[in-house]
Structures are given as structure tokens and as C-alpha cells.
Amino acid sequence: MRLLSTLVTTAAALLAIAQAQLTGRVGPLTTAAQKAAIKTCNVLNYGGKADNTTDVSGPLYNAWLDCRDGGLVYIPPGNYVMDSWINLRSGNAAGVQLDGIIYRRGTDGGTMITIRGCNDFEFFSGTSKGAIQGGGWEFLKDDLYGPRFIRVEQTHSFSMHGFALVDSPAYYTVFDDVSDGEIYNIIMRGITVGMTDGVDLAGSNVWVHDIEITNGDECVTVKSGSSNLLIESIHCNISGGNAIGSLGTGTSISDVLYRNIYCNQADPAYLKTNNGSGTVKNIMWDNVIVHGGAYVLALNEGWGEDRGSTGVQLTNLTFKNWWGYNSNNSRAVIRLECDPDVPCTGITLSNINLWTNAAGATNVKWTCQSAFGSGACLRKTPATSYAYSATTVSTAPATWSTVRMPNDHSSAFPRTKFTIPPIPTTFFPGLKPFSKLLSISGPGGLNKEVGEAREVEPTAIIAENRMHLTDVPAPISVPDFPVATLTTF
């Protein structure tokens, strides 16, 4: 009864937090079927060929021009190549259905597909088998970089889901100045090398969920200019991990919830800045599992280039319900090092069960500097700044060891060709994705005579067109790893 009561209380509290993050509905305003019913622009009708030889960039761009005022661009199953990069601009009630595989063949820098200034937009695979294959190893094996995959900017009421992004020569996705969006059911897989960020996000009222990322840099990272974000069911499967930053001058980030985060050889939470300015407030990381990370739980206000300002003010940051260990015990497993000019306040750590699996290790370290709150080495009463201090902890938490995902990688991929993986059906132990993978036939699923009849709505969370604030799903407790009682260090 005690465990059940704890889980119910936690679920209720987290539902309230989740509702506080998203401020309204997310995703496109019309379904893919509705878009396709207005107009369908099949790239094969614009000179495209699924022959793995003919450049699809021109046909894709021209199809977009015909459908961007209301319609659906359709890339049927098959293999396509891309030599030139395109900008999909000024779409309204428009979308792109990628059921084929696009192989990068061009070698220019920049971004392969830029989406800008769109409203009521959807980029998805109807078969859940669409992909972009970047062949990044051809650049990265020589320590060079090629084009980024996808950039979305100044776009609102949008979704992106249901496909694989494989072996990018640089960043995978960047979202800048976006709102009311949903990003989900995506796998990103590539080489372990820097400057290959998975999801870089600056926006408001965006739900990111059910994503697996293997890369060498950031997993799902929040950038300045963000508020009301819900990021959950994320599997960082050998990655630099999740971050906030790096942060420069004029920083503004608030009301972000990271929940149900699983990290295999990746960092769950790394906030980084150095003499920037502005504020970061009201951030929570809840229900986190980590199997090896360099900087497991870290606030570092001395990271990177000195921005020459007064420092970023960090307030009301909460870390709760963590299990796992670091991969390098030469670093602190908990690191809370704040700017002496603007000390961190309102930092809370509760039920943190972190240790090390380093051979022969008998203790871990916590480090604090100018950080105030409760838990670990934090000082309780805000006053003046204080110098760096380290605390050695020699007693392991009782429940730091926990479950693993069955598809965890044991080592980084070599710098050679990649096969395209299927989209996983789970992204956190014990949890199903919020939305089933699509398996529809034809543009928008309008080919009713093929395959089973089904709803085309991509998220299928509710019967209504899009998700409302009150429909944010409640957190689901993981039943098969220990739930420790509340601990304040």
C-alpha cells in the first residue's frame, strides 16, 4: 500500500507539472488525410524517379510549390538521391509524407531540407519506413563535416514523426523559433563524433517524445528562447546527452520538464554557460536512468568561451528520482558549480541514487560552488557566493543499480556505412510510445483499398483533431526497478 500510495502521489504531482509545461494544443491543425484531400503533389509527377540515380531535389521543390497553399507532397516508397538542398517556405495547411528513402549525394555544406515560415505543417512517414541516409561516414572518417539534415524555423502548429535519420554528416535536426509543435517516433543513428547534435530546440509549447538518438554530441538540447517544453521518453543510446545551452548573453529559458529519460553512455542533464546573462528558471528532470555518463548531473557555469557578461541566473531547478552511475569516476557524479556573481537559488535534489561502476572505486564526489537549495552539497540559506568545494561520499545508495533497455549499444559504431534501423517500439523501460507507428497506404492514407482501414491522425492520443492541455498523458511509473523512498542528502 505504501508503494501504491507513493506512485499515485507522484503521478498526480507530475501530471500537474506536465500541464503547467504545455500551454495549449500541439501539432498540425488539419490531418494528413485532410491535406491530401485538398491536393496531392506526388514527386513522381514532377520528374522524380525512385531509381537511386535521379536527383529528387528539383521535383520535391516543385511539388512543394504546388501544394504549399494547402495539400500534401508525397514521396512514395523507393530509393531517391539528393544532389542539391532545398527550402520549403511559406506553407499553410501543407505537409510532406516521406515513405521513400532519400540518400544524400551532394557534397555542399548547409542544410539538406530547410522548413521556414510554415503554419499547420506536418513532415512524416505514413509507413514508418521513410528515412534520410546521409552517408556521413564519407566525411567524418576524415574528420570533415558535410551538410546538416533538417532545419525548421519560424514554424507553428507542426509535427515531425515516424522516420529514421541515419548517419548525418553534421547536425540531425534544428528547431529555431517554433511553437505548438510535436516531435516524436524518430530514430537518429550515426557516428560518435562532435557537432552531430540530435535535436536542438528553441521554441515554446513543444512536446518532444519517443525518440532514440545515437551520435557523438547532444541528444535533446534546449536552447535560449525556449519556454513551456515537455521532453519525455527519450533514449540517448551512446550520445553526448541532454543539455541546456551552451548559453550566451540574453538567455531566456523557463518551464521545461524532462521526464522518463534513459541514457546509455550519455549525460542526462548538463547545463553549460560561462559569464553569459539572462535567466533559466523552473526546470525539472524527473525519472531518469543513466548507465554511464561523463557528466551525469551537472550545472557548469564555467564552461566554454567566456561571454564577458554578468552570468546567467539559475533558479528553481529540480532533479528528482534518478538512478544509475557515471562512467569516469575522476569527475564528480553530482556537479553544481554556479557563477559567483549570480549564485544559483532554489535548486532541489531528491531521491537521487547515483554511484559509479568504475573498477575498484569506493566513493564518488559531489562538487558545489555558489549553489543554494536542498540535497547533495548545496547550502541551504542563500547568502553570498562561496568557493568550490568537494564532498566525498563513501556509501552507495541502496537502489542505484537499475534496469537496462534491451537495445542498448555496447560500443560506438565504426566510421563505415550504416544500415537503416527500424523505429523502436519503446524508448523507456516499461513504457509504450504515446502514439502508435503509422502504417497507411498512399498519400494521407487515402488509398483505402490497400491495407486495413484506420485513423490517419498521426498521434492518435485523443479522438479530437489535436491534443489539448488537459490531455497531457499522466506519467507511468516503471514497475520493475526499485522506487526508493525520498532521500535528502
pLDDT digits (tens, 9 = 90+) for 136-151: 999 999 999 999 999 9
Beta strands (DSSP E) in 18-172 are: 40-42, 51-55, 71-75, 79-82, 86-89, 92-98, 101-104, 111-116, 119-124, 131-133, 148-153, 156-161, 164-166
Give the pLDDT mean for 219-237.
Answer: 98
pLDDT band at 447 (very low <50, low <70, confident <90, very high): confident
Q: From the candidates 99, 120, 197, 217, which is the catalytic residue?
A: 217
Catalytic residue among 161, 197, 291, 339: 291
In 10 A of CB 159, how many CB atoms? Answer: 26
Can you give the pLDDT at residue 308?
Answer: 75
Q: b/e string for 404-422 if b means 16 or more Cβ within 10 A?
A: ebeeeeeebbebeebebee
- pTM for the structure as a whole: 0.89
Q: How far apart are CA 379 and CA 386, in angstroms?
A: 10
User: Alpha-carbon distance 87 to 112, whole Å?
Assistant: 8
43/54 Cα distance (integer angstroms): 12
pLDDT for residue 424 is more than 50? yes
User: How many CB atoms lie under 10 A from the CB of residue 449?
Assistant: 7
What percentage of the chain carries pLDDT values higher than 90?
82
Q: For 100, how many CA atoms within 13 A lie in the half-sphere containing its CB?
A: 23
Whether the predicted pLDDT of 481 surpasses 90 = no
Whole-angstrom distance, CA of residue 208 vs CA of residue 21:
12
User: What pLDDT does residue 327 have?
Assistant: 86
Residues 69 and 478: their CA atoms lie apart, in Å, by 45
Q: Are 475 and 483 in contact (CB under 8 A)?
A: no
| pLDDT score, position 487 | 27
pLDDT in tens, 332-382: 999 999 999 999 999 999 999 999 999 999 999 999 999 999 999 999 977
- Model confidence at 292, pLDDT cuts 50, 70, 90, reads very high
Instruction: Kindly list the distances between the CA atom of residue 97 and the CA atoms of 216, 246, 427, in Å, as whole numbers in the listed order.
Output: 29, 33, 24
Q: What is the mean pLDDT of residues 15-29?
A: 75
> What pLDDT sits at residue 223?
98
98 contact partners, CB below 8 Å, separation of at least 6:
75, 123, 124, 125, 130, 131, 132, 163
| CA gap 82, 104 in Å, rounded | 5
Q: Which amino acid is at 165?
A: L
Residue 62 identity: N
Cell digits for 322?
Answer: 534518478
Residue, of 32 and 360, whose pLDDT is higher: 32
Lowest mean pLDDT segment, chosen from 105-109, 249-253, 268-272, 481-485: 481-485
pLDDT digits (tens, 9 = 90+) for 67-126: 999 999 999 999 999 999 999 999 999 999 999 999 999 999 999 999 999 999 999 999
> What average pLDDT does the segment 184-211 reach?
98
Q: How many Å is the Cα radius of gyration of the chain?
A: 23
Residue 472 has what pLDDT?
A: 35
| Res. 158: pLDDT tops 80 | yes
55: number of Cβ within 10 Å:
17
What are the two backbone dihedrals, phi and then psi, of residue 153, each rounded to the nearest 5 degrees? -140, 150
- Please say if 291 is a catalytic residue: yes
Closest CA to 119 of 205, 161, 181: 181
Q: What are phi and psi of 198, to 5 degrees?
A: -80, -65
Q: Looking at the predicted structure, is the pLDDT value of residue 44 above 70?
A: yes
Mean pLDDT over residues 239-265, rounded?
Answer: 97
Confidence of residue 18 (pLDDT cuts 50, 70, 90): very low
What mean pLDDT comes out for the span 410-437? Answer: 96
Long-range contacts of 377-381 (CB under 8 A, 24+ apart): 377/334, 377/336, 377/489, 378/336, 378/347, 378/349
> Is 306 in the active site?
no
**In the predicted model, what is the mean pLDDT of the chain?**
89
pLDDT at 382: 73
